[in-house]
C-alpha cells in the first residue's frame, strides 16, 4: 500500500505538471516557444551583508571576501549567484553555470523566446522561482521573487541577469511579457550582470514589479506565465566572451 501510494502521488504530480504546461501553451500559442514549469523554493537565506560584501570585494579587489578570514580576495573570483542560498562557493564566471546546474539543480532552457510558468504564487514570502536561459551564445538567470518590501505588502519582482560582465550585459535587451484576459503588460530593459547581485537589483526596483492584485489579475489558478525574449541591442565583438 505504501508503494502504491507513493507511485500514485508521483503520477498525480506528473499530471499536474503536464496540465500546467498545457495552460502555458494555451496562453502563449506562438510557434517555437518553449515552456518551463518552475516550482517555488523558499529562500534559505536573507543576509544582505553577504551580497554587499562580495560585490565590494570584487570591485576593490583588496578587501577580504564575505567569509571571515584574513586571505586577500581574488578579484577574478565571483560568489555564488544563486539567490536562494547562502552558498560559500566562489569561482570564475565561466564555471558559474556548471555550479548552478550541478549544485543547485537549476534548469536551463535554450531558445530566443521561452515561457516561464511560475506555480503556487500564493505561497508566503520570501519565495523564489529561478531558471537559466541560454540564448545568443550566452547564459541568463531569470529570477522571480515574492518579497515583502514593506511589511504586510508582498510584491513580485522579476529580473534577468547575464552570467557575464556588465559590458557584455549592455549588448542585450530582454523583454518580459504577461498576457491574459485581453490584457498585456510588458517590461523591457537591459539585463544586469550577475556581478551586480540580484538582491541589489530588486532593492533598487530596476525590474518588473507587480503588487499582489496585479499578479492575481495575470495569474491562472495560482500560476503566472511570463513570456521571455532576448535580443541583441547593438553589434558586439564575438571575441568579447566571459
124-156 confidence digits (pLDDT tens): 998 999 999 999 999 999 999 999 987 888 999
Residues 6 or more apart in contact with residue 120 via CB below 8 angstroms: 39, 40, 222, 223
Instruction: Tell me the C-alpha distance between 199 and 37, whole Å.
Output: 23
How far apart are alpha carbons 228 and 230 in whole angstroms? Answer: 7
Q: Which helix (H) or strand (E) holds 185?
A: strand 183-189
What gap in Å lies between CA 89 and CA 81, rounded to an integer? 9
The closest of 118, 115, 121 to 222, measured between CA atoms, is 121
Contact at 8 Å (CB) between 140 and 130?
A: no
Alpha-helical runs (H) found in the chain: 2-27, 48-60, 96-103, 166-169, 198-204, 212-218
Closest CA to 228 of 16, 13, 38, 14: 38
Three-state DSSP class for residue 49: helix
The correct answer on CATH 3.40.50.970 for the domain covering 30-41+74-232 is no
Q: Is omega for the bond preceding 126 within 30 degrees of 0, making it cis?
A: yes
Cβ–Cβ < 8 Å for 123, 43: no
Q: For residues 62 and 71, give the distance between their C-alpha atoms in angstroms, rounded to a whole number.
A: 10
Residue 232 CA: distances (Å) to CA of 31, 172, 178: 21, 4, 21
Identify the pLDDT of residue 99: 86
* Predicted local distance difference test score (pLDDT) of residue 165: 93
- Which pLDDT belongs to residue 155? 95
Spell out, as residue ranges, where the chain has pLDDT lower than 50: 16-17, 21, 24-32, 46-50, 52-73, 236-239, 241-242
Q: What pLDDT score was predicted for residue 68?
A: 37
Distance of CA 148 to the CA centre of its chain: 18
Amino acid at each position: 500500500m505504501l508503494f502504491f501510494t507513493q507511485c500514485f502521488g508521483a503520477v498525480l504530480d506528473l499530471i499536474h505538471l503536464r496540465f500546467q504546461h498545457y495552460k502555458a501553451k494555451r496562453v502563449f500559442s506562438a510557434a517555437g516557444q518553449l515552456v518551463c514549469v518552475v516550482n517555488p523554493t523558499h529562500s534559505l537565506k536573507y543576509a544582505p551583508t553577504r551580497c554587499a560584501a562580495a560585490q565590494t570585494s570584487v570591485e576593490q579587489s583588496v578587501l577580504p571576501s564575505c567569509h571571515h578570514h584574513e586571505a586577500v580576495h581574488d578579484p577574478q573570483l565571483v560568489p555564488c549567484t544563486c539567490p536562494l542560498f547562502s552558498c560559500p562557493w566562489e569561482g570564475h564566471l565561466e564555471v558559474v553555470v556548471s555550479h548552478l546546474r550541478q549544485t543547485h539543480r537549476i534548469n536551463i532552457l535554450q531558445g530566443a523566446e521561452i515561457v516561464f510558468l511560475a506555480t503556487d504564487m500564493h505561497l508566503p514570502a520570501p519565495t523564489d522561482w529561478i531558471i537559466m536561459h541560454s540564448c545568443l551564445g550566452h547564459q541568463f538567470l531569470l529570477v522571480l521573487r515574492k518579497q515583502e518590501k514593506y511589511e504586510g505588502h508582498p510584491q513580485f519582482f522579476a529580473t534577468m541577469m547575464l552570467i557575464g560582465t556588465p559590458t557584455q550585459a549592455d549588448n542585450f535587451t530582454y523583454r518580459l511579457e504577461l498576457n491574459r484576459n485581453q490584457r498585456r503588460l510588458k517590461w523591457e530593459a537591459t539585463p544586469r550582470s550577475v556581478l551586480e547581485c540580484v538582491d541589489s537589483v530588486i532593492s533598487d526596483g530596476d525590474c518588473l514589479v507587480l503588487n499582489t492584485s496585479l499578479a492575481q489579475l495575470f495569474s491562472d489558478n495560482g500560476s503566472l506565465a511570463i513570456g521571455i525574449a532576448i535580443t541583441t541591442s547593438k553589434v558586439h565583438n564575438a571575441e568579447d566572451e566571459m
